[in-house]
């Protein structure tokens, strides 16, 4: 049996809103018992992996924080990896982004010290103001590295939608005339970073509900992709999707995916890392 490194999205795959999807805890246990490695990737740039793991625990879902990549974590890792000399980034985003940057040895500058910044990181900021935007613009106009946690324009909340990180990133991009380097999906960086430290020889497989983020990132990385129909995308969406967003496999939900994988149905190994 080929052992898989399963890279799972969360909202729409494990739960919807505040409710766990049917059969998810059992499906995760089934996949782990079969010897597959489980990792989780989310464009959430506000909460820490520990906070998300605790919330999932209340839903009956057990997820180890060290196997989870958030957009804040990915942004800090990408900045440290690609621009290791950066020490004093300016953050237009959450306290979690700043915490992740500190974890990697950087010291985010205070608002009033934005002139000293040597990088700009933009994510979701629930206290966005014109002053903050103007200071981010001033930093960005100096040509320093410019990263975005993710480019999600909106995210679902209760019965509607709220502006996502991408809406703030778009404002800074327009104000500076520059394009941010995104860390979250649909870029493949988060998936590749999650694979670091896992055993060799695992076949990476992405499981997600969003064609434009989860599946597109998986395709960009060259990994096999499974679309579950328990979240955003429908079977009709998958059939009509452009090649870069078309999944390799479509199943009803995670429970169906687990039964199919553990049941011995082969997943093509032509998708290399």
Q: Would you please indicate which residues are annotated as catalytic (active-site) residues? A: 9, 11
Residue 261 contacts residue 31 (beta carbons within 8 Å): yes
- Give CA separation, 106 vs 10, 55, 83, 102, in Å: 29, 28, 11, 5
Angle at alpha carbon of residue 96, lines to 141 and 123, rounded to 5°: 35
Q: Using CA atoms, how far apart are residues 94 and 257, in angstroms rounded to an integer? A: 34
Residue 245 contacts residue 211 (beta carbons within 8 Å): yes
Q: How many CB atoms lie within 10 A of CB 100?
A: 28
Q: Quickly count helices (H) and strands (E) in the chain.
A: 10, 14
- Judged by DSSP in three states, 103 sits in helix
138-156 burial, b at 16+ Cβ within 10 Å, e below that, comes to: bbbeeebbbbbbbbbeebe
Longest CA span, the chain: 59
Of 167, 95, 168, 85, residue with least CA distance to 119: 85
Of 136, 119, 48, 41, residue with least CA distance to 84: 119
């Amino acid at each position: 049996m080929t052992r898989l490194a399963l890279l799972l999205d969360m909202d729409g795959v494990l739960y919807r809103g505040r409710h766990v999807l049917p059969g998810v805890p059992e499906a995760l246990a089934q996949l782990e018992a079969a010897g597959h490695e489980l990792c989780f990737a989310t464009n959430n740039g506000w909460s820490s992996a520990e906070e998300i793991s605790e919330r999932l625990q209340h839903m009956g879902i057990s997820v180890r924080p060290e196997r989870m990549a958030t957009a804040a974590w990915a942004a800090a890792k990408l900045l440290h990896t690609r621009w290791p000399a950066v020490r004093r980034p300016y953050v237009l985003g959450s306290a979690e982004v700043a915490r992740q940057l500190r974890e990697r040895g950087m010291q985010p500058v205070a608002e009033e010290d934005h002139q000293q910044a040597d990088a700009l990181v933009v994510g979701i900021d629930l206290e966005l103001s014109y002053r903050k935007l103007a200071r981010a613009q001033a930093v960005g106009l100096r040509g320093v590295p410019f990263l975005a946690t993710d480019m999600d324009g909106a995210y679902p909340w209760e019965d509607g939608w709220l502006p996502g990180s991408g809406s703030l990133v778009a404002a800074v991009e327009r104000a500076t005339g520059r394009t941010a380097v995104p860390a979250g999906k649909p870029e493949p960086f988060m998936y590749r970073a999650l694979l670091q430290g896992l055993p060799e020889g695992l076949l990476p497989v992405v499981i997600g509900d969003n064609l434009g983020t989860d599946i597109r990132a998986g395709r960009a990385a060259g990994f096999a992709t499974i679309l579950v129909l328990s979240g955003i995308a429908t079977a009709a969406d998958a059939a009509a999707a452009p090649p870069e967003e078309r999944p390799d496999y479509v199943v009803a939900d995670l429970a169906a995916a687990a039964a199919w994988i553990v049941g011995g149905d082969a997943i093509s190994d032509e998708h290399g890392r």
